[in-house]
Amino acid sequence: MTTVRDAASERHRDKRGVFVQLWRQLPFFVWLIALWMLLWGQFTWTAFFTGVAAAVVVTRVFRLPPVELSGRVNIWYGAIFVLGFLVALVRGSLIVAWQAIDWRRLPGTAIVAVPLRTDDDLIMTHTAVTASLIPGSFVVDADRDRRILYLHVIGVRSARDVERQRASVWGWERRIVLAVGSQAQVERVRSDAAAHAAGGAG
């Protein structure tokens, strides 16, 4: 009797473990679908279902190490990230288009190094992809050990433009952490933002 009860309890724990693993992988799965649709530039049902198929292949067929997520998802900050990204996408497209037709001067370019605030591979990847998808900047290299992204940026004419670009990338990193980062990461980016604001005020 005890053996039967123990076996049932073991099966229950296994099912619960599978459910917890799927729940933790859900944000990554959804992100893969969104990334697929963004890369194709199509927000259609066809792009969605092919994105689902691609995400299944990536997460289930390829024998890759499991992605360890924080298990925390904030819907509010996730919505803020999506809306902010869409606004930045439109704004960046308009700026790049204007720079292309402005015959008065050529847009300056620069390679900008951006040291990230968090020590997490997934956050670093999300931040790099987001910065690359916005017109006007593209990640050309990433130093994983030192957590530094190197971006090629157009429209840079001064040191202030460089700092503005760094602040933009830090802003995306902060939004991503607030949406799907761990509690420790959230506290880190908030304290860094508060320290930066205090330094700027001083």
pLDDT of residue 174: 92
Residue 93 has pLDDT above 80, yes or no: yes
Residues 118 and 159 in one domain: yes
Question: What does the alpha-carbon distance between residue 166 and residue 169 come to, in Å, rounded to a whole number?
Answer: 5
- Whether residue 104 sits in one domain with residue 147: yes
User: Which phi and psi (to 5°) does residue 110 adopt?
Assistant: -160, 155
pLDDT classification of 44: cutoffs 50, 70, 90? confident
Secondary structure of 9-77 in HEC code, one letter for each residue: HHHHHHHHHHHHHHHHHHHHHHHHHHHHHHHHCCCCHHHHHHHHHHHHHHHHHCCCCCCCCCCCCCHHH
**Number of folded domains in the chain?**
2
Regarding whether 189 and 154 lie in a shared domain, the answer is yes
Residues 80 and 43 in one domain: no
Same domain, 105 and 186: yes
Question: What average pLDDT does the chain have?
Answer: 79
Q: What is the DSSP string of 102-150?
A: -TT-PPPEEEEEEE-S---HHHHHHHHHHHHHSTTEEEEEEETTTTEEE
Residues 101 and 149 in one domain: yes
pLDDT given at position 114: 95
| 49 & 78 share domain | no
What average pLDDT does range 165-188 have in this prediction? Answer: 89
Whether 56 and 93 share a structural domain = no
Confidence at residue 33, expressed as pLDDT on a 0 to 100 scale: 81
Asked whether residue 45 falls in the same domain as residue 5, the answer is: yes
Lowest mean pLDDT among 54-63, 115-124, 135-144: 54-63
Which structural domain range is residue 18 located in? 1-69
Last residue of a domain, one of 53, 69, 85: 69
Residues 102 and 64 in one domain: no
Average of per-residue pLDDT across 29-39: 77
pLDDT at residue 3 in the model: 56
79 and 50 in a common domain: no
pTM over 0.85: no
Q: Are residues 48 and 137 in the same domain?
A: no
- Report the pLDDT value the prediction gives residue 10, as an integer from 0 to 100: 56
Please give the pLDDT value at position 2.
Answer: 47
